[in-house]
Structure 1
Amino acid sequence: MSNSWWGPGVSQSADGEWIEARFNEPTRLLDILITSGISTKASDLSEAALPHRMDAIIITADGKQTTRQITLDQVSGPQQRKFRAQNVVSVRFVIRSAFNVGADKQVSIAEIEFFTRATTSGT
């Protein structure tokens, strides 16, 4: 159970605000799991604005940049999306639209989890 979440610090849709994940070494990503809101509890769903559409800007070890669109549902709990990418060094998630916006709410994300292929070393 997490008791922390990310928010851009601005109200309304937060169009253009972003959060970025960086990897220590080039990583092969398979899927991502995004939990919108301030928690996984359905009762907390209306407490904050939730990301609806985001751009995922993927940077690979060779400096190449690729942008993918991610569309999320207005639900509590984690949402898994396919996210096949190789040699990734960073992913920036840019908010483009949100659900439940208001002057007293900011877009919030409780968690972004990355799934990779396990590697083994032959020592």
Structure 2
Amino acid sequence: MVRPVTADEDAAGVPCPVCRTPNQPHRRFCRRCAAPLTSVAGPEPLPWWRTVWPFRRRTRAGSGRLTRLLVILAVVLALCAAGFLLLPAGRNLFEDTRDKLGKAKPVTPARVTATDQLPGHTADLTTDGLSNRYWAASRPGASVTYSFGKPFRLVDLIITNGASKSAEEYARQARALRVDMEVTAQDGKVHRQEIDLSDKPGSQTVPVGISDVRKIRLTLNAPVGLTRGRGIALAEVEFFQRT
């Protein structure tokens, strides 16, 4: 409905978009046709690349909320993964998994010393690669220390107990059924592990899994067959690192 315009109303002002009648600035509706004077802004035009298939898509209601939820979920998962790796238990599990999936290669110590050894049976014979030569100690509690030039991840330890892999030679010397291992890491932290050995000739593998190893000490205990004229024999010790 169109109402008549009185003469005393100001003829200057914002023109109505419908009937073009001037209106005072404070008015929200036209004084003649009551049409709204403030137009609703339409959506901004899309960039040209959004008008080309396959980018030509309509934005669905709530799509922004979904994006925010996905971003929050990604951040939470990243924080959980970081916490898992930083915690000692999570870090150890991660390293153990890498040990199982990776390959191992032998590593040779730079120096070998012992607290006790019989003549002709020095401690360095445990790393010469020959299982028919051995280190012999005169008493239980004797230890051998292996020092390495640079830190490494110790995955496995292979011990050939006794004097030889040969059953006949094996029985001629005493053997240690328990070896106390002390591993010193790069940061000075000491890891201790008690190793029980079988009283039989041949190699025995000991899983370890310690990082940044610099020094390993093996102490012979619980000997069997130790009599006068015999020593506690240890034929070979092999160390393996993760590649």
Shift of 1:15: 2.2
Q: What corresponds to 1:114 in structure 2? A: 239
Is 2:225 the partner of 1:96? no
Structure 1: how far apart are the matches of 2:194 and 2:185?
17
Aligned position for 2:198: 73
Q: Deviations over 1:37-68 (max 9, x none)?
A: 12111111211001111110110000111211
Letter in 1 for 2:195: I
Could you say which structure has the larger radius of gyration? 2
Aligned residue runs from structure 1 range 1-123, under 5 A: 2=130, 3-8=132-137, 10=138, 14-118=139-243
CA distance in structure 2 between the aligned counterparts of 1:108 and 1:55, rounded to whole angstroms: 15
Shift of residue 117, structure 1, vs aligned partner: 0.8
User: Between Structure 1 and Structure 2, which shows a larger proportion of helix residues?
Assistant: 2
Q: TM-score, normalised by structure 2?
A: 0.45
Deviations 1:74-107 (A, max 9, x none): 0101111111111000100011211211122111
In 2, the alpha carbon distance for the partners of 1:42 and 1:4 equals 14
Unaligned runs of 5+ in 1: 119-123
Between 96-105 and 19-28, report the one with greater CA deviation: 96-105
Distance, in Å, in 1 between the alignment partners of 2:224 and 2:198 is 9
Structure 2, unpaired ranges of 5+ = 1-128
Q: Which runs of 4+ in 1 moved over 4 A?
A: none
One-letter amino acid of the structure 2 residue matched with residue 6 of structure 1:
W
Aligned length: 114
Q: TM-score, normalised by structure 1?
A: 0.87
How many angstroms apart in 2 are the aligned matches of 1:34 and 1:87?
Answer: 21
Identity of aligned residues (%): 27
- The answer on whether the counterparts of 2:140 and 2:232 sit within 8 Å (CA) in structure 1 is no
**TM-aligned CA deviation for residue 21 of structure 1:** 1.1
One-letter amino acid of the structure 2 residue matched with residue 82 of structure 1: P
Higher relative CO (Cα under 8 Å, sequence separation at least 6) belongs to 1
Distance, in Å, in 2 between the alignment partners of 1:67 and 1:27 is 17
Whether the 8 Å contact between 2:144 and 2:217 is mirrored in structure 1 is yes
2:156–2:206 Cα contact (<8 Å) kept: yes
